[in-house]
Amino acid sequence: MKIKSFLLNATLVLNAVFPAKSIAQMKELIDENFKNAVSQYKTMMSLTPQDKLPQSYDPQTNKFHARERTWWCSGFYPGTLWYIYEQTNDAAIKKEAERSLELIEPNQTYTGNHDLGFMMYCSFGNAYRITKDEKYKLIINNSAEALSTRFRPSIKAIQSWNKNAYFNSPVIIDNMMNLELLYWVSDNTGNPKYKDIAVTHANTSLRDHFRKDYSSYHVIDYDTVTGKPSRKATWQGAADCSAWSRGQGWGLYGYTMMYRFSKDKRYLKHAQNIAKYILTHPNLPEDKIPYWDFDAPQIPKAKRDVSAASLIASALLELAQFTKNEDLKKSYIETAKTILVNLSKPEYLAAPGTNGGFLLKHSTGALPLNSEIDVPLIYADYYFLEALKRYKDWYL
Contacts within 8 Å (CB) and 24+ apart, 278-285: 278/248, 278/249, 278/252, 278/312, 279/331, 279/335, 281/243
DSSP label of 120: I
- Whether the Cβ atoms of residue 161 and residue 236 lie closer than 8 Å to each other: no
What is the C-alpha to C-alpha distance for residues 148 and 185, in angstroms, rounded to an integer? 11
8 A C-beta contact, residue 220 and residue 168: no
Look up 174 and say whether it is catalytic. yes
Burial of 369 (0-12, 13-18, 19+ CB in 10 A): exposed
Q: How many C-beta atoms surround the C-beta of residue 193 within 10 A?
A: 15
State the catalytic residue, choosing from 31, 90, 115, 393. 115
Residue 100 backbone phi and psi in degrees, to 5: -70, -30
DSSP H helical segments within the chain, as ranges?
Answer: 2-14, 23-47, 76-88, 91-104, 116, 126-131, 134-148, 179-189, 193-208, 245-262, 265-279, 306-322, 326-343, 378-395
CB atoms within 10 A of CB 171: 28
Distance (Å, whole) CA 316 – CA 283: 18
Q: Is 115 a catalytic residue?
A: yes
Distance CA 50, CA 68 (A): 10
Q: How far apart are CA 292 and CA 173, in angstroms?
A: 16
Catalytically annotated residue among 51, 58, 133, 174 = 174
**Distances, alpha carbon 149 to alpha carbons 65, 116, 123, 167, 212, in Å:** 31, 11, 21, 19, 32
**Buried b / exposed e along 31-50 (16+ C-beta atoms within 10 A):** ebbbbbbbbbbbbbbeebee
Instruction: Write out the catalytic residue numbers.
Output: 115, 174
